[in-house]
Structure 1
């Protein structure tokens, strides 16, 4: 944990390096100090081929951070603000940028790694 999922307007793949964005978001998450084991951080980006938002330009990136429950509000805010700053720096011309944290229940979260 965490799982960091970047959903974005598919057309951004034509104008922005989404692999580089994943790397920057990974580095940002690590730099917060909230996740002491970098091997636990997972970042992925998913293009959304169809979307409609209420702002211009018609482009967006939204990050959902899935965390094991139990972190206080100040910690959660530190993570969302750091990731939003990275998005803003990397995607300055994108119409809407947002970040949210969703709690994952540690009792029901299952994981397998090699």
Structure 2
């Protein structure tokens, strides 16, 4: 915990520094949600096909990025809202201006009580 996932259009593959973004996401999560730095894990998942409205996906004029942070239950709604806003600020700072319109979103959710993990 926390489990951070960044889903994004491959259109923006060169528009952001994933290592810098992950570091900033981890720092925000530690500061706002009291996570331990060594517990932060981020998975980046590029999508080769994303669609926006009625635009021809081949035009590639839009890019989508969505960050999901799964936390163990117990954080209040105010903490989750603060972290969501921080994630959007981190995205603004770490995604370069490019030739596409960026649609960014984020959500903070509680991990299911069945969540388990192991390290090897």
State the superposition RMSD in angstroms.
2.0
Query: Residues of 2 paired with 1:101 and 1:27: CA distance?
Result: 15
Runs of 5+ consecutive residues of structure 2 not aligned to the other structure: none
Does 2:76 match 1:72? Answer: yes
**Equivalent residue for 2:8?**
8
- Say if 2:27 and 2:37, in contact at 8 Å, map to a contact too: no
Shift of 1:58: 0.6
Aligned partner of 2:31 in structure 1 is 31
Gaps of 5+ in 1: none
Structure number, greater radius of gyration: 2
1:111 is matched with 117
| Paired residues of 1:64 and 1:101 also in contact (CA < 8 A) | yes
Q: TM-score, normalised by structure 1?
A: 0.84
Q: Output one character per residue of 1:18-57: Cα deviation in whole Å (capped at 9) or x when no partner.
A: 232222222222232x234211111121101100123894
1:58 and 1:27 mapped to 2: Cα distance? 28
Q: For the residues of structure 2 that align with 1:92 and 1:15, how far apart are their CA atoms?
A: 5
Q: TM-score, normalised by structure 2?
A: 0.80
Residue 64 of structure 1 aligns to a residue in which SS? Answer: strand
Segment of structure 1 superposing worse, 7-16 or 42-51: 7-16
Against the structure 1 CA distance between its residues 19 and 98, is the aligned structure 2 distance closer, same or farther, given a 3 Å change threshold? Answer: same
